[in-house]
Amino acid sequence: MARHKLKFDFWTIVTISIALLFALFLVYPLFALFISSFKDPATGVFTFNNFIKFISKKYYYQGLLNSFKVTTCVTILAILIGAPMAYIMNVFKIKKKGLVEVLVIISMLSPPFIGAYSWVLLSGRSGVITKFFENTFGIHTPTIYGFTGILLVLTLKLYPFIYLYVSGALKKIDASLGEAAESLGCSPVKKAVTLILPLILPTLLAGSLLVFMNALADFGTPMLIGEGYNVMPVLIYSEFISEVGGQANFAAAMATIMVIITALLFMGQKYVVNKKSFTMSSLRPIQAKEIKGFKGVLAHIFIYGVVFLSIIPQITVIYTSLLNTRGSMFTSEFSLKSYRTVFKNLGSSITNTYIFGLIAIVLIILLGMFIAYISTRKRNMFTSLIDTITMFPYIIPGSVLGITLLLAFNKKPLILSGTFIIMIVAFVIRRLPYTLRSSAAILYQISPSIEEASISLGCSPVKTFFKVTSIMMLPGVMAGAILSWITVINELSASVILYTGGTRTMSVAIYAEVIRASYGTAAALSTILTVTTIISLLIFFKLSGNKEVNI
Amino acid sequence: MSVAISIENVVKKYDKLTIIPNLSIDVENGEFFTLLGPSGCGKTTLLRMIAGFNTIEGGSIKFDDSVINDIPAHKRNIGMVFQNYAIFPHLTVKENVEYGLKLRKIPKEEFNRKIATILETVRIDEYKDRLPDKLSGGQQQRVALARAIVIHPSVLLMDEPLSNLDAKLRLEMRGAIRDIQKEVGITTVYVTHDQEEALAISDRIAVMKDGAIQQCGKPTDIYTRPANVFVSTFIGSSNLLKGKIQLEVKGRYVVFRDGYRVLMDNLIEDIVDGQDVIVSVRPEEFSIENSGIKAYIKSSTFFGRYNNYEITFEEDMVLDVQLNCELTQDLGHEVNFFKKGDIIHIVPNAAKINVFTEDGEQSLIKDVRKYGQA
């Protein structure tokens, strides 16, 4: 019968092409990574030695323990800051709420290493705050380097995830639920614990996992502020870099361990959330109440305090970028010298960032729309598989992805290492999920009968996709694409492994300048990057019509 | 040009689940044909097979003489009106209506004339530059109808188009659809679960259940002479009473459990004395007399034009499946109203009532057949 024939229509071709792309650029490299982690560096024979080396030497396994210690602490602190903040912001009227939310989102979407480097500038050995306390009071402030610094920077960077997730969940709770509890004699505090907390718990778990994964995978922060406090991504990077030219099997083994851990966490979280999830829709969301007196002051101090702390890095880089420099020191007079240096020596990193970013974002939009369409409208085993594979980047830390790509494409037949193509591949794979998920979300809201209406009027299915479906998808696609764009231009952990002199991007250049203690140029570059991020965000808010970001 | 549709032995399966086992039906050119049935009976599935949105697992569907099974939906030249209207939200009313016509390469002048005519016919001319979200439900409905008709489709397919409208608008649009269909003369297949709507709007109705057509015919035939108990209770309401056949020299009777009997002159030949039957009496087919079947008034509802009584009979008179028995009293001629607890005597109208086999599957009235039987 005709229907059993494999028809080579447009969507079949799209599906197969996408499957091939992912097989080549994601599945094959990962596979190659696992294989090489079981190979002896010298002889190439199968061995467990790489793994044995890891668990038998304290230097290495301590890195994993450190990672867990930092990550767990960051997650707990992020919950303790983010969840109460979301509750206060949604239940009480806080002045300048809109501005607070925008600042929170800006601090979340700026590159984390800018945070690390700003805190070094402020409270490092020769930092402004350190000097101030030393010179005025003769007090030695506690060191910012190591565990404390990583904790501070990552918490301030990651609590917004919890804040946004919990805020979203709170908005879905119908006010009548709270009123019912109150009518039954429940005090406000008890209500928060017995009613609100259980209702937001699945969301809180999802947000916590996101924080945990991000903290675990973060490379820039521990590299800049860790100073010997080794965590996994740093170990993997330094092992890999030190072995370049030779074999990278040991780094591959460590990367494998990390991927396994994150995969297990991800699956565990899915399992828990699926068991606990329930759908809520609120016809009448909770209305924010006036908060007065002592309580009101306290609430405002808490909110503004947190936001101020998290926005300090941005203020610091913008301010210092306008200062004159002498060597690695800032002087007190204003000057545009740093910017002149940047445009003279590092101009290519700026153009690279924009060009690579634009190419990547075009590919991300196309892939995102196509994959969203085939996985929602042409659902079968094959498209579901593609949908699952596109979620891989959630569990693969950037530095690991960088290594897998480099290991897979540094030999014939396909040599991509050192080219801009490999950078773009990394960008697309890592940042596709934002666009994909928001495209799929909007597709679920578009009734298939709209497409059928177009087809019934004589428009072919492919034409219908481009004339009707794609246009209706655009708002969702663009909302996701801007997030993808912002995170692409701020990408560091994969780029730092994949870049060469000619393909250096802004974030890589900033990292290199900070390492060289060339703080002026780093500040100028960071400012350019931050301003680009903020402008992109403003466009996003304008397009989406509200101030909500779905990560 | 409008076409006749012939559906021959079609089968619809989803994996192992069979929705339509084997269904045949012919729709005449220009006819307003309604598929009526409870939800899940396969009526929308069948409509979407005609449209080309569902695959056909067996049999064939023809437009006039050409089989369309393998023709993709967009080449079938159909007009479809969806339950949720499916108006393109990014296009204005006029652009929505133009959408299908633009794909058809029509001279500018004719194009403009057609658009102007249809906008006027469905009375949406004044909203033509608005975006759909500024339209009411009834206006959206008219846009959907105009968009489907303007391309002069071979068939017009409508999937419960009125179910999202409020009661008053539904009546108004029902009339409008009927008028426009007759004016344009397009073969129309209409899906609904609302029996009243089906009776009012259709040339012919096919009553469906479990993927099979139970009965097909004109609205009056289906209402007055249902082919089985399912049709008699799904279309309108019917009181189902237990009865027996009694053959005597004087004639053939249907006897109720309390001994009351009616002389029937329209039963088929193939019945035997003492055979158990189901007697189906519509609420308006009883008349209140001085003697007859004894009934008790359980409650009374006043509808203005008539009174509706909920009644009970002596024990074992009615089928166990029957929850409520009903009796209507036309208030144009009646002066006596009854109240709860009153005892009345009612007489069924022998010329109107229907008699079915004990299993309810077969009518015992002459010339009434279940669909598909010779």
Q: State whether B176 and B238 are in the same domain.
A: no
From the list A3, A458, A464, which residue is nearest B55 (CB)?
A3
Per-residue pLDDT band at A180 (split at 50, 70, 90) = low
Q: State whether B85 and B164 are in the same domain.
A: yes
From the list B52, B86, B90, which residue is nearest A447 (CB)?
B86
From the list A453, A461, A472, which residue is nearest B90 (CB)?
A472
Q: State whether B332 and B316 are in the same domain.
A: yes
Q: A2–B70: do the CB atoms touch at under 8 Å?
A: yes
Q: State whether B211 and B139 are in the same domain.
A: yes
To the question of domain A341-551 being in CATH 1.10.3720.10, the answer is yes
Q: State whether B197 and B276 are in the same domain.
A: no
φ and ψ at residue B59, rounded to 5 degrees: 80, -165
Domain finish residue from B191, B224, B257: B224
For B269-314, where are the E strands, in sequence order? 276-281, 286-289, 293-302, 306-313
Polymer length in residues for chain A: 551
**Closest Cα to residue A325, out of A454, A516, A172?**
A516
C-alpha span between B132 and A408 (Å, rounded) = 52
From A455's Cα to the closest Cα of chain B, the distance in A is 5
A305-314 residues labelled b (16+ CB within 10 A) or e (exposed):
ebbeebbbbb
pLDDT tens digits along A533-547: 888 888 877 776 665
Which residues in chain A have Cβ-Cβ distances shorter than 8 Å to B156?
Answer: none
Interface residue A450 vs chain B (CB under 8 A): yes
Q: B72–A471: do the CB atoms touch at under 8 Å?
A: no
Tell me the residue type at B20: I
- Say what the pLDDT of residue A214 is: 87
Q: State whether B63 and B151 are in the same domain.
A: yes
Q: Give the residue from chain B lying closest to A471, CA to CA.
A: B90
The neighbouring-strand residues paired with B62 are B6, B67
Q: Give the residue from chain A lying closest to B159, CA to CA.
A: A449
Which residues in chain B have Cβ-Cβ distances shorter than 8 Å to A469?
Answer: none
Q: Give the residue from chain B lying closest to A3, CA to CA.
A: B55
Mutation site, A9, A449, A457, A463, interface B, largest B CB count within 10 A: A457
- Say what the pLDDT of residue B355 is: 95
From the list A456, A460, A472, which residue is nearest B80 (CB)?
A456
Q: State whether B79 and B219 are in the same domain.
A: yes
Which residues in chain B have Cβ-Cβ distances shorter than 8 Å to A380?
Answer: none
Q: B80–A458: do the CB atoms touch at under 8 Å?
A: no
Sign, Cα dihedral of A122, A123, A125, A130: positive
Domain that holds residue B199: 5-224
Mutation site, B55, B88, B133, interface A, largest A CB count within 10 A: B88
Taking phi first (over 0 means left), then psi (-120 to 50 degrees means alpha), and beta for anything else, what does residue A73 get?
A: alpha
A292 vs B26, more confident = B26
Tell me the residue type at A297: V
**B239-247: strand order across its sheet:** B261-264, B252-256, B239-247, B276-281, B354-357
**Closest Cα to residue A378, out of A460, A440, A288?**
A440
Q: A453–B88: do the CB atoms touch at under 8 Å?
A: yes
Q: Give the residue from chain B lying closest to A455, CA to CA.
A: B74
Interface of A with B in 452-491 (CB under 8 A): 452-461, 464, 468, 471-472
Domain finish residue from B173, B199, B224: B224
C-alpha span between A70 and A516 (Å, rounded) = 26
Per-residue pLDDT band at A2 (split at 50, 70, 90) = very low
Structure tokens at B73: 């939906």
Which residues in chain B have Cβ-Cβ distances shorter than 8 Å to A454?
Answer: 88, 99
Tell me the residue type at A425: V
From A410's Cα to the closest Cα of chain B, the distance in A is 47
B1-28 residues labelled b (16+ CB within 10 A) or e (exposed):
ebbbbbbeebbbeeeeebbbeebebebe
A442 vs A6, more confident = A442
Per-residue pLDDT band at A1 (split at 50, 70, 90) = very low
Which range among A49-53, A125-129, A286-290, B222-226 has the greatest average pLDDT? Answer: B222-226
Tell me the CATH number of domain A37-278, given options 3.40.50.620, 3.40.50.300, 1.10.540.10, 1.10.3720.10: 1.10.3720.10
pLDDT tens digits along B20-70: 999 999 999 999 999 999 998 999 999 999 998 888 999 999 999 999 998
Cis peptide before A413 (omega within 30 of 0): yes
Q: State whether B117 and B213 are in the same domain.
A: yes
Residues 6+ away with beta carbon under 8 Å from A439: A368, A369, A371, A372, A373, A473, A476, A477, A480
Mean pLDDT of B197-221: 94
Mutation site, A442, A454, A456, A466, interface B, largest B CB count within 10 A: A456
- Say what the pLDDT of residue A4 is: 45
Find the range with the poorest average confidence among A134-143, B300-309, B313-322: A134-143
Per-residue pLDDT band at A182 (split at 50, 70, 90) = low
Q: State whether B206 and B299 are in the same domain.
A: no
Structure tokens at A271: 């399992």
From B83's Cα to the closest Cα of chain A, the distance in A is 9
Which residues in chain B have Cβ-Cβ distances shorter than 8 Å to A472?
Answer: 88-90
C-alpha span between A241 and A403 (Å, rounded) = 10
> CA A48 → CA A32, A33, B146, distances in Å?
16, 14, 72
- CATH 1.10.3720.10 in chain A, residue ranges: 37-278, 341-551
pTM, two decimals, is: 0.78
Q: State whether B170 and B236 are in the same domain.
A: no
In the A/B pair of chains, how many CB contacts fall below 8 A? 70
C-alpha span between B2 and B78 (Å, rounded) = 10
Answer yes or no: is B367 within a domain: no
Mean pLDDT of A266-289: 72
For residue A36, pLDDT beyond 90: no
Mutation site, B83, B99, B160, interface A, largest A CB count within 10 A: B99
Q: What angle do CA B326, B329, B335 make, to 5 degrees?
A: 145
DSSP class of A290: P
Per-residue pLDDT band at B197 (split at 50, 70, 90) = very high
Contact A166/A124 with Cβ under 8 angstroms? no
- Say what the pLDDT of residue B122 is: 84
Q: State whether B212 and B69 are in the same domain.
A: yes
Rounded percentage of chain A residues whose pLDDT exceeds 90 = 25
Structure tokens at A471: 């246009």
Domain finish residue from B180, B201, B224: B224
Answer yes or no: is B72 within a domain: yes
Domain containing residue B74: CATH number: 3.40.50.300
Domains: count for chain B:
2
Please count the other Cβ atoms lying within 10 Å of the Cβ belonging to residue B134: 11
Q: State whether B92 and B204 are in the same domain.
A: yes
Structure tokens at A376: 């929602």
Interface residue A384 vs chain B (CB under 8 A): no
- Write down the mean pLDDT value for chain B: 90
